[in-house]
């Protein structure tokens, strides 16, 4: 069974973030809060962590995962971002948006769509998620913590820990979290495409979708 530690949702304690980041460096799998819902995360290059993430979620090995980035500069180093995409990214980040972009060579092939070589990227607007990325010093691989047995993700930390605590190494408990997934926008083509309307408001960008 994993450890569950309480962390402040708006002013997370540095010592707790450091503990969590140290575990990530050892290829641990964590439950952590984001600005959309609780998620699973591991290091970008943690192959075992990625496989464990798929087992917890009971999804396909090729199911899209997301790289959580600290800022636009980091995101742009991991993907091909043209001027149009950059303007939209600057307008919508940080926040509950996932952007599908053509991946750079920095990203391991096993994480990409095998046909399109795309990856989901986002910049979270949550102090714990941001603090964890900053202490680790690199992006983290992430996915919403849910599975086929749930219609919507769980929001209560105790419920999450009861259901998944024996499958991860640590849970950062920042209190109740949301359940609505991110809005997904595909920026890999010539024009942006709204793939999924979620928590992030894009009504001014896609008024008719």
Q: In sequence order, what DSSP letters do the residues of 119-134 get, joined into one string?
A: EEEE----HHHHHHHH
Within 13 Å of residue 65, how many CA atoms lie on the same side as its CB? 33
Q: What does the block give as tokens for 80?
A: 């091909």
Q: How many residues does the chain have?
A: 209
**What is the C-alpha to C-alpha distance for residues 51 and 71, in angstroms, rounded to an integer?**
26
**Could you tell me which of 118, 27, 137 has the C-alpha nearest to residue 78?**
118
What would the pLDDT profile of 70-112 be if each residue is shown by its tens digit?
999 999 999 999 999 999 999 999 999 999 999 888 787 777 7
Mean pLDDT of 33-50: 93
Domains annotated on the chain, with CATH: 3-196 (3.90.870.10)
pLDDT at 128 over 70: yes
pLDDT tens sequence across 131-165: 999 999 999 999 999 999 898 899 999 999 999 99
User: pLDDT band at 173, cuts 50/70/90?
Assistant: very high
Comparison of pLDDT for 204 and 70, the residue scoring more: 70
H-helix or E-strand containing 163?
helix 157-164
**Could you give the CA distance from residue 128 to residue 105 in angstroms, rounded to a whole number?**
28
Q: What angle do CA 196, 102, 28 make, to 5 degrees?
A: 80
| Model pLDDT for residues 3-35, shown as the tens digit of each residue | 999 999 999 999 999 999 999 999 999 999 999
Dihedral (C-alpha) 24, 174, 92, 105: value to the nearest 10 degrees? Answer: 10
Give helix 14-25 / helix 127-136 axis angle, nearest 10°.
Answer: 50
Q: Which of helix, strand or coil describes residue 84?
A: helix
Q: Supply the pLDDT for residue 207.
A: 81
Q: Are 42 and 30 in contact (CB under 8 A)?
A: yes
3-state SS assignment for residue 70: coil
**In terms of pTM, does the model score above 0.75?**
yes
């Amino acid at each position: 069974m994993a450890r569950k530690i309480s962390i402040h949702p708006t002013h997370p304690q540095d010592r707790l973030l450091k503990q969590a980041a140290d575990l990530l460096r050892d290829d641990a799998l964590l439950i952590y809060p984001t600005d959309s819902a609780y998620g699973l995360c591991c290091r970008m290059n943690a192959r075992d962590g990625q496989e464990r993430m798929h087992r917890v979620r009971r999804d396909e090995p090729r199911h899209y995962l997301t790289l959580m980035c600290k800022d636009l500069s980091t995101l742009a180093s991991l993907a091909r971002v043209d001027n149009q995409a950059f303007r939209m990214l600057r307008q919508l980040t940080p926040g509950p948006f996932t952007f599908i972009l053509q991946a750079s060579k920095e990203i391991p092939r096993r994480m990409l769509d095998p046909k399109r070589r795309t990856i989901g990227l986002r910049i979270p607007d949550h102090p714990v998620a941001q603090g964890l990325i900053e202490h680790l010093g690199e992006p983290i691989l992430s996915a919403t913590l849910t599975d086929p047995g749930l219609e919507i993700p769980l929001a209560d930390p105790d419920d999450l820990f009861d259901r998944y605590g024996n499958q991860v190494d640590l849970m950062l408990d920042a209190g109740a979290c949301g359940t609505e997934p991110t809005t997904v926008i595909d920026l890999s083509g010539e024009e942006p495409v709204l793939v999924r309307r979620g928590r992030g408001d894009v009504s001014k960008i896609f008024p008719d979708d």
